[in-house]
Every structure is written in C-alpha cells, then in structure tokens.
Structure 1
Amino acid sequence: MVFGNALLEIGTFVGYFVVLILIATLSYRKQKSDKDFLLGNRSLNFWLTALSAHASDMSSWLFLGYPALIFTTGLFSAWAAIGLTSFMFLNWHFIAPKIRTVSEQVESLTLSSYFESRFSDTSGAIRIVSAAMSVLFFTFYITSGLQGLGVLVESLFNLNYFIGISIGLSIVMLYVFMGGYRTVAWIDLFQGFFLLGVIAIIPIYLLTSFGGIGPVLHAVKVKNLSTSLFPDFSLKTFWQIFLTASGWGLGYFGQPHIITKFMGIRKVEDMNKAKCLGISWQATALFAATLVGLIGIYIFPQGLADPEQVILNIVKTTLAPFFAGLVLCAILAATTNVMAAQILVVASNLSEDFYKRIFRRHASSSELLWVSRASVIFISIVGFSIAFFRISSIYALVQYAWAGLGASFGPLLLLSLYTKSINKYGAFAGIFVGGVVAAVWPYFDGLYHLEIPSLIPGFALGIITIQGVSFLMRKRLTLPIEP
C-alpha cells in the first residue's frame, strides 16, 4: 500500500513536469534574440503579465515560510500578507505603467540599464553597482528556493537533500535555458492558476471536515497565540503592525524580477486589467495560506520540529496520495516559478550589465543570447553551492534577499519616476547605501535587539542619501570655478 501511494505521488510529479517541458519546448521556437529571451519582445497580454508577476513573486515562502510564521505566532502575523497585498497594489498603480513606458523609450531591458539611461551615466558606475547588488541578493534568493526543493524531496521520498536540490535545479535550468522570459511567463500563467486552486482547496476541504473555523481558532487560543489582527489598540500594537506590514510591503518597489514583468506587457492600457487580476490572485492565495497556518495549529497542537514543513505534514496526514501529489507539485511550482524569474534577471545582469557594458559593447543579439544562457548555468551553480550548506531557514533567506533588493532599488525607482531633482551621483550613492544598510542591519539588530526589519532603515536611508547627495553635488557643480 505504501509503495502504491509513493507511485501515485511520483506519477503526479512526472506528469506535471512533462507539461512544463512541453511549454518550454513550444516557447523555444519563438525565441530569436536577447530581447525575446529577456523581455519576450514586450508582447505579453495582461493575463500573462498579471499571473507571471504574482506567480514569480510567491515562492516556496507562500507554502513553507509564511504558513510557518502563522503556525508559530498566530493570526497577528497576517499583517505581513496585508502589507504585501497593499504595497503590491501601489506597485501596480504607480510604478508599472510608468516603467513600461519609460523603459521602452530608453530601450532598456533591465532595471540597471534603465537607471543608467535615466541619469545619463556614461561611466557605467550606476549600471555596475546596481547589477552587483542584484546578483548578490538574488544569489540568496535562489539559494532559498533550492533549499525549499531539497527539503521537499527529502521529506517526501526520504531521498538525500543533495539529490533534492540537484533535481530541482535541473528542472529550472532546463526550461529557463530553453525559453527565457516568454517560457517563464507561460509557465507562470499555467502554474499561477494551479497554485491558486491548490492553496485555496486545502483550507476549504479541511475546514469543512472540521465543522468550520471555530475549532481552529479555539486551538490557537489554547496555545496562547494571537487570534486577532488587533489584540489591543495600544501604540505598541500599531507600531508592530507598521513594522510587520512595511517590513515586507516596501520591498515590492525594488524587486527586479517583478518590475521586469511590468516592462514586458504589450500595451500600457492593459495594465489596469493586469492589476485587478493580479491583486485578486494574491489576496486569495495569501488568505488561504494564512488559514493553512492556523489549521496546522489545530492538527499539530504539540508543534513540529520544523515549522516550515507544516503544510507537508498536513498534506501527508489528511489527503489521499494523488491529491497530496498535486499539492506537492504546487509547492514545487511556487519554488521553481520564482527561481526561474530570479535566474533570468541575474542572467540579464551578467550579460547586459557586465559582459556588454564592460567587455563587448557591440556584441550581437545572438552573442548576448548565448552569454545569457551561460549566465543561467553560472548563477545556478553558485546558488547550488550555497544551498548545499543550509546556512539559514527559508523564511530568513527570503526576508534577507527581499530587504536587500527592496532597499537597493526601491527608493531610486520611485524617485526616478516622480522627480527630476536627483542626479547620477545621488542615484549611485542611494543604491549603494540602501543595499549595504539592508545587508548589515540584521547583525546590528541582533546585537542591540531593535526588532526593526532591515528593509525599513535601508529604504529610508536610501531615500535620504539619494536626495542629500543629489543636492550637494548639484550645488557643487553649479559653483563658479576659482581663477
């Protein structure tokens, strides 16, 4: 019986990934240049753009990291999801239409090349520092995805963790290498609907069998965990709400793998449709994931040795093998979605921002296409090497990378689209300061127990630095030259 159940789960996995490979193969035929590989030639409809942006955002964090947060702390931590949804709405509304229009005007395929063109930086300093920050933090992001795949395979099939990350990396590299941006977008569309269906069905099915939400909330209360978004109305509670919501939400303004999705839509006029579709998807998925975390408290009142495996344990305990296999495919989908988008962004940084900018300014499109593919292999191997040592939890790795990217690029992207008072000196300094502060803040926070998410000081100091340095350099450049 156990052997038969395992065969059902494996069969579900195999069938699922056959579909992914088929999509990658069909997309490969449409790929002719680096512009196709990196931005799909700006030809995607609003369905593809919306689901691609959100599916590439919700990594294994949606299934593993976030439910574990709710499982260990209670409902109050759902402010992280509320913050993410609210700030993503702002991202769609204020950033997406403008960056789509401006990036095409200056013929930019990456966020760093946009910054270079926007500030007329002929030295290449902005492009190189932004690419360096992107590669640095995405390496940790990709590592978290690989770690999630390793944990999943290890838990399900009792296979070695090394084998798990090897299998996962091979799958992601295959369809990114074959199809690039267009492939990732089509796979994101397919997996976006699949993810939403799976994450929504689990709590509906289980709550129905439990007789509603009442027993679940009672179990949460028995464990002395939060059962409300507003435990009280004290100043301290509102401060914690601000930190939780902003500590995640602000990061949306600086995530290159999401911003590039906005740049690839066919028509700017369709951005509002994409926004409505995408936000609906995100709100539903995060609400369902919150319920999964709460249900975990009810099913496992004594807790788990590894809270990030709460959904895996729920699935194995309550669902039939075939449906369990579908759920586990969804977890793989969430992980591979984001990894593919992130690897693609890093490949664009290495090919466009390092290779073309520093070594081969007049490289052909076909040459850059192959450099992009070589970059996919390179960054995948680096991420694999770090994931092998399991240096931290999935949640912590994602939070670190998210904060670093958000603090590096968010302040500059916002100011570059809505003000003309900043210059290339402020832009360079802002990227550097924001990224460095976000990178080192966790160490200071741990030392002094400040309990402030690194994204908030990094973002704030990034804005101050951009404005301050731009002002100082503008004054210096306008001073009369002494005879």
Structure 2
Amino acid sequence: MTITMTVFLVYLALLAGLALWSRAESRTLHGYFIAGKKLPPWVVAFSTNATGESGWLLLGLTGMGYAVGAQAFWVVAGEVIGIGLAWLLLSRRLKRISDQHDSITVPDVLAARFGDSLHLLRGLSVLIILGMVGAYVAAQMVATGKAFAGFTPLDYAQGVLVGSAVIIAYTLVGGYKAVAWTDLIQGVLMLLGLLVLPAVAIHAAGGWGTVVATLGSADPGLLSPWGPEGKSTAALVGIVSFLAIGLPFMGVPQLMVRFMSARSEKSLVPAMTISVIVILLFDIGAVLTGMAGRALFPGLEDPESILPLLSTELLPPVLAGVMMVVVLAAIMSTVDSLLILASSAVVRDFLQRMRGSLRDDRQLATAGKWVTLLIGAIGIVFALQQSPLIFWFVLFAWSGLGAAFGPVLLCALWYPPTNRQGALAGMLGGFLTTMAWVIWFKPLTHDLLEIIPGFLVGLALTVGVSRITAERSD
C-alpha cells in the first residue's frame, strides 16, 4: 500500500467518525439540510471558504500563478473583496430573515420576503439550482476520478466510484452537519498546505529574490500586474475579470446556506473575520506556489499540474501523501455541499412547499437522503462517460448561480421597494444573460467574465421591474 493511500484511509476513518457523530442531527429536515442552525463561528467560516474554493484553489489558482505570475494577485483581491462584501452585506440580514421565517433554503427566504404564494420564485430557483448543480456534481466527480488516477494506484473509473461512494456515504449518514465539519478539517488542511508548500518551493528555488530574478529573466510580464501580455485592452479586461471572480460569493446558494446555519446572528461577526483572513492566506499561498513553481519547473504543458509536481518533488513522502489527499478532499468538499443543496431544493422547496407533501419531518429527511443518493448516482453515470459537455457547463455554473441569486438577494435585503415581479425578472435575466454571454459574446469581448454582464443585468432588472410594476399598481 502506498503512503498516499495510507494517508487517505486515515482521512477516510476521520470522515466516517464525523458522519456517525452527526447522524442524530440528520434525522430531521432542519438537521439534515442546515444542521439545526447550531454551527459555531469557525465551522461556518471554514465551511464557507472550503465550499467556495475547493479544488479550484489548489489546482486552478496555483496554475494561474504559474501561467501569468503577478497578474494572478488580482484574483486574490477580487476574492477577498467578494467574500468580504458577502459577509458585510448579506450574512447577518440573511440569517435574521431566515430565522424569522424558519427558512432552511435560499428559495425559502425569497418566498417569505416576496410573499411567493404562487411558488413562481421557488419554482424558478429549483430549476436553476438543479440545472447548474447537476452538471457541476458530475464534473467534480470527473475531477475526483482523475485525481485518484493521478495520485493512487486506482484507475479513472475506480477513482470515480471510490471517491463518489465516500462523498455520498458521509453526506447520507451525517447530512449538512457532517459536511460542514468535514469542510472545517479540509479547510485547515488546505491552509496548512498553502503555507508550507510555497515556503518550501521558494526556499528550494534559492529564496524570493532568486524567484523574482528567474521569472524576470524568463518574461518580465510575469512580474507585472498587467501580466505577460503587457498593457493592452485584453490585459485590462483580464484584470477586471479577475477582480469579478469574487462576485458570485454574494449569491451562490451553497454559500448563503452557511450564513443561515450559524448558531446566532452575533456569531457571524467572528466568523467573518476568520473567513476573510483565511481566504487571503489561501489565495496568496496559491499564487506564490505557482510563481515559485514556474521558477523551479518552467515549460510545463499543464500549469495546473504544478502543485502535485512540487508536492512529490520537494516534500517527504508522508507530507506529499498529505498534500495529495488535500487535493482530493478539496474536490470532494464541493460535491457534498452541492448534493445537499440539490437535495434541499427537491425535498424542501418542491415536495414540501410546492407540492404540499404531508409527510412528517423524519420522512422528509429520509426522502432527502434518497434524493441525495439519486443525484449522486446520476453524477457517477455522467462522470464515467467523461462527457466534454459537462466541463463546458462548469465554465459558467459558478457565475450562473451567482448572477441568478446575487442581485435578487442584495435587493431583497437592502432595497425595500423590491417586489416579486422584480425578483423574478432579475433572477431569470441574470441567469440567461450569463448563459448567453458564454455561448455567443464572450469570445468577442476578450473573454470578459460572464458574471459581470450577468450580475449587472440581474441587478438592473430587479430594480427596474420593481419600480415599473410598483408605479403601475399605484
């Protein structure tokens, strides 16, 4: 047995323990989907960050640091601003209104805020969530299979099955509580890895001065905030897009539920501090890892392979095994949260609220577990096929959810005149604009990130339609 597999089995035992510890909470609807709203600040903070970052942080942002150098620090700024604004503008007000109306999902909150007796907002929310989450889950399972194949003796199909089985099992048994506490452990591991690995890589390269000199001689653009392309329209669009990467933090339902699950509104204040500091350390560590990796191993065909390469080349076998498990765990932390999100949309929003199911609390929680299993099984089927279409959907799943829910939530919590018609227009307009931008317009605008037009259109429609319909009703 390899060291990596040994470390993974130890981690697996830890997950099993957390799932069993959380089992009692998962027997009720509130417990299974939102941990009874009892999570402490540090769990809420790390769960928010781990769910929002995950495998993209460890592979994507390190690869970006490798590819474009200092320009990737704009992503750091964008994410810190985005998560900071989410905590400042949304967390406490969202927690307050969710507690007032006993809401356990984001559609619950919107339905209560706008008196959605016809379930139009709730129905649209469910459709958007299931459409985006379904493709996202399948794609993350593809990534899980590839990670297992790259880091362990398992082949791709075995990796998909093993990784998916682990995720589905602890999510079924422990529900949202197990997911959140698992995110805490994953977040701590990610933080430690992104503190240790860049330090080791910079030392191996001869110190930060040597890294800077090496990158500068290879391409001065790697040290410029404009990036390797230099000052240009494309570089400016790239910077704006990097800054906008944090916008979806202010709306994606899988993160909003973290705010709602806190034990109290007051506990969100320390959680915010922890979250912002940790995400700053996350992102700086990832970019520095990529830059140091470029100095050590120039010419890689796949920049996103730099973290695994540095781990195996520079760290002792045990620590390298830990880093590989951190990558696997980070990918897995996205899937479990998405499974809970999709399951809650089906059971709470569709079955209980829209269809008026008369099942008791325990029966609905059990139904939630069956839905989790079903969605997970569908994701496995698509992952085993490795359909390229899945990855195409992932390009805008994050932005699509953010553009659909972000503007509406901001207006719902901060702009009292917002009404149901405006919320419907904003949600649908933001979502469709994001889709259209990726399909037709993105290549024509130097790849401007789709969340920018999607968020702006969603915000304009929410405010504009609310005002127009209010004037007509007067």
Question: TM-score, normalised to structure 1's length?
Answer: 0.92
2:7 partner letter: T
Distance (whole Å) between structure 2 residues aligned to residue 475 and residue 67 of structure 1: 51
Q: Are 2:372 and 1:376 aligned?
A: yes
Q: Distance in 2 between matches of 1:161 and 1:239?
A: 37
How far did residue 89 of structure 1 move? 0.7
Q: Which runs of 4+ in 1 moved over 4 A?
A: 230-239, 391-399
Query: Aligned pair 1:282/2:279, yes or no?
Result: yes
Kindly indicate whether residue 458 of structure 2 is the aligned counterpart of residue 455 of structure 1. Answer: no
Please, which of 438, 449, 472 is the counterpart of residue 468 of structure 2?
Answer: 472
Output the CA distance in 1 between the equivalents of 2:294 and 2:269: 38
2:431 equivalent to 1:432? no
Provide the residue aligned with 1:3 in structure 2: none
Between 1:88-97 and 1:206-215, the stretch displaced more is: 206-215
- The answer for the alignment partner of 2:242 in structure 1 is 244
Identify the residue that residue 258 of structure 1 maps to in structure 2: 255
1:71 paired residue among 50, 66, 75: 66
Partner AA of 2:270 in structure 1? K
Mapped pair 1:16 → 2:11: yes
Query: 1:226 is matched with which residue?
Result: 222
Matching of residue 411 in structure 1 with residue 396 in structure 2: no
Q: CA deviation at 1:158?
A: 5.1
Gapped regions of structure 1 (runs ≥ 5): 1-5, 479-483
CA root-mean-square deviation: 2.1
Amino acid at match of 1:279: V
For residues 77 and 19 of structure 1, the distance between their equivalents in structure 2, rounded to whole angstroms, comes to 34
Q: Secondary structure of 2:126's match?
A: helix
CA contact (8 A) 1:220 1:298 kept: yes
Does 1:422 find its partner at 2:418? yes
Which residue of 111, 129, 144 corresponds with 1:149? Answer: 144
CA distance in 1, matches of 2:195, 2:331: 17
Residue pair 2:72, 2:287 contacting (<8 A) in 1 also: no
**Residue in structure 1 matching 2:38, options 34, 43, 57:** 43
How far apart in 2 are the matches of 1:393 and 1:67? 25
Alignment deviations for residues 118-161 of structure 1 (CA, whole Å, 9 cap, x no partner): 10010001001011111111223223321221121111235322
Task: Identify the match of residue 108 of structure 1 among 103, 109, 112.
Answer: 103
Q: Equivalents in 2 of 1:397, 1:63: separation in Å? A: 21
When residues 398 and 283 of structure 1 are mapped into structure 2, their CA distance, relative to the original with a 3 A threshold, is farther
Q: Give 1:271's aligned residue.
A: 268
Matching residue of 1:298: 295
Query: Does the CA-based 8 Å contact 2:403-2:455 persist in structure 1?
Result: yes
Alignment correspondent of 1:317: 313
C-alpha displacement at 1:233, in angstroms?
7.8
Residues 221 and 148 of structure 1: CA distance in aligned 2, closer, same or farther (over 3 Å): farther
Q: 1:240 to 1:31 in 2, by over 3 A?
A: closer
8 Å contact from structure 1 (residues 24, 178) kept in 2: yes
Alpha-carbon contact 2:50-2:333 (below 8 Å) kept: yes
Query: In 2, distance between residues paired with 1:450 and 1:212?
Result: 36
- Which structure 2 residue ranges, 5 or more long, are not aligned? none
Whichever residue aligns with residue 466 of structure 1, its letter is T
Q: For residues 351 and 73 of structure 1, what CA distance do their matches in structure 2 show?
A: 44
Counterpart CA distance in 1 for 2:296 and 2:455 is 39
Post-superposition offset of 1:254: 1.1
CA separation of 1:354/1:386 partners in 2, compared to 1, >3 Å: closer, same or farther? same
Q: Distance in 2 between matches of 1:229 and 1:412?
A: 33
Q: Output the TM-score relative to the length of structure 2.
A: 0.94
Distance 1:215 1:396, change over 3 A: farther
The one-letter amino acid paired with 2:177 is: R
In the other structure, the counterpart of 1:481 is none
User: Structure 1 residue 201: deviation in Å?
Assistant: 0.7
The Cα shift of 1:265 comes to 0.8
Percent identity, aligned pairs only, is 25
- Paired residue type of 1:48: V
Tell me whether 1:173 sits opposite 2:168 in the alignment.
Answer: yes
Map of 1:208 onto structure 2? 203
State the match for 2:86 in structure 1: 91
